[in-house]
Structure 1
Amino acid sequence: MAKKVVVASFALVIIACLFSGCKKFEKVGHLQDPGIVLTFDDDRIDNWYNYLPLLDSANVRATFYICKYNRFTPEQKRKLNEIKNHGHEIAFHSLNHYNMQDYVYKNKHTIDDLMRCEIEAGLKMMNQDGYYPTTFAYPYGAHNGLFDKILMRYFKSVRALNGTQDFSKSVVPTQHNDVLYGLGIDKSSNRRDQDVISILQSAKNNNGCVVFVAHDINSGSKYSVTLHRLQEIFKFVKENNLKYYTAAEISE
């Protein structure tokens, strides 16, 4: 008898949510749409700020993984705040951008040292300025299962790099992710434009979300994504009705 009461009560909750516009159920439906998470790493604040009009023109909402916040000038902090105000996610990329595996296993620091100096110290600085990052990207993509587990005490998800030829590893569900494997699209990746478009098509076909990794935009360095490539991505997203997500959104 008790089980019947519980089932009936749960059914009533579901019905109530459907008729009252329960946000929880609405959110699940929204995040089922295929899409893209466009991420940028490091401290290229001036470059990103200069290209805000380009991102705005395509209705992009990107994720910026920030490192070296202790070295930002007041002007760079102002620009970062404007980037945030344009709807982009401000995420975390460690304080000093050390290779975290080297920091522990080669330089003989403890994992507690790593968390205190590279994670907690940086988060404290950002928190003091009103930033509360909930997602993390590994410097150089250097991660392991132990680091992943520990960092999940601080963040909803961590992002490593897809260093394989299996591009599908970078297409993930649109919800409940904890470890992401971003696919590099900078010139240093040596990927062809057709490879980038192909994985976008895969995300659409599989109702998933592709995670891309870049650094700066059109700077000429090897760690830069070209305007042509970004425009091709924007064009595909628009023509195929994909959605722009932040890393935090697909980590819920």
Structure 2
Amino acid sequence: MKQLIAGNNAVMLFVLVCIWVTAAGCQQKKNADRRGGIAISFDDHFINEWYNLRPLFQKYNAKVTFFITCPDSLSAGEITRLRQLEKDGHEIGFHGTIHGRSTQLIEAEGPMGYHETEIKPGMGYMSAAGFKPTSYAHPGGNHNAQVDSVLFANGFNIIRDVAISKRKLLGFQMYALAPRLMPWIFYDYDKQNAVDALLIDTDSGLTIQEMKEAMQKANATGTCLMLFGHEPLYKAPENGAYGFSVRFLEAILKEAQKENLDFYTMSELVEK
């Protein structure tokens, strides 16, 4: 009986979400001052794996953002590779010192304790390595207004959250939205500094057709589609690995080129 109730609630929520996103999507009009764009970012500490994608980025003249976590463990080789990626035109952002659950940290330690644990040490390591991040990605997409206020007070000009197109709860499909019906993953160049990017990892279940439709929408509306992933994978994930298919990424880059989309780093969105 409880499962039936949960299922009915899931269906109702799905219907309400669909109605809302459809209405919101209809309100998005063409930005006459901008071409469509795409902003892709990558999270965590897969630096060597990201570096190996340089030829792919160069092939499509793409620039992206790398959000680094646990910078205390950066090796000399990783720093060299990050500097080269930055020289290539990519952005080096920050993803936390310990990759902690921000709301729990700030509840337990207060704003100052959160800053001293998650922000200050890691930014010190980044600075020592020669990087000055101005963009931040929430670990696990976990945050609240108090967390955001600490980040903005520390000089970040844009902070990125997580958007997922499909979500299950207790085995029930809560929603399964086509990316083109998710207006919050399209940047309107309106100086908004708290944004959402769509997860493209393999467990997202996204298809290249859905990506094509989303990029066509970005082109048609003069907005910027925001996407993100983790580790580059060349086969199905094994042993708890999480990340995106390199083949899927190349299909996205190829379609972005076809749609003549401009590539943006995260900080560039608010600087334009």
What TM-score does the superposition give when structure 1 sets the normalisation length?
Answer: 0.82
Pairs aligned (count): 222
CA RMSD of aligned residues (A): 1.9
Shift in Å, 1:31 = 7.5
Per-residue deviation, 1:149: 2.3
**2:78 is aligned with what amino acid?**
Q
Match of 1:190 among 194, 202, 205: 205
TM-score, with normalisation over the residues of structure 2? 0.77
Q: Which runs of 5+ in 1 are unaligned?
A: 1-28
Of 194, 198, 206, which residue of structure 2 is paired with 1:179?
Answer: 194
- Of residues 132-141 and 173-182 in structure 1, the stretch that sits farther from structure 2 once superposed is 173-182
**Contact 2:234–2:246 at 8 Å: present in 1 too?**
no
Where does residue 243 of structure 1 map in the other structure? 262
The alignment-based identity, stated in percent, is 26
Residue 192 (structure 1) shift:
2.1
Q: Deviations over 1:182-218 (max 9, x none)?
A: 1000102122222222211111111100110111212
2:248 counterpart of 1:229: yes
Which residue is equivalent to 2:216?
Answer: 201
Counterpart of 2:100 in structure 1 is: 98
Q: Secondary structure at the match of 1:91?
A: strand
Structure 2 contact 40–226 (Cα < 8 Å) conserved: yes
* Alpha carbons 1:41, 1:66 under 8 Å: kept: yes
Question: Which residue in 2 is equivalent to 1:152?
Answer: 152
Equivalents in 1 of 2:244, 2:208: separation in Å? 11
> Computing the radius of gyration over CA atoms, which structure comes out larger, 1 or 2?
1
Superposition map of 1:1-252 within 5 A: 32-105=34-107, 108-153=108-153, 154-163=155-164, 165=177, 166-220=181-235, 221=237, 223-252=242-271
SS for the counterpart of 2:184 is helix
Residues 31, 174 of structure 1: 8 Å contact kept: no
Which portions of structure 1, spanning 4 or more consecutive aligned residues, are displaced by more than 4 angstroms? none
| Superposed displacement of residue 219, structure 1 | 4.5
Query: What is the rounded CA distance, in whole Å, between the counterparts of 1:243 and 1:47 in structure 2?
Result: 24
Matching residue's letter, 2:90: H
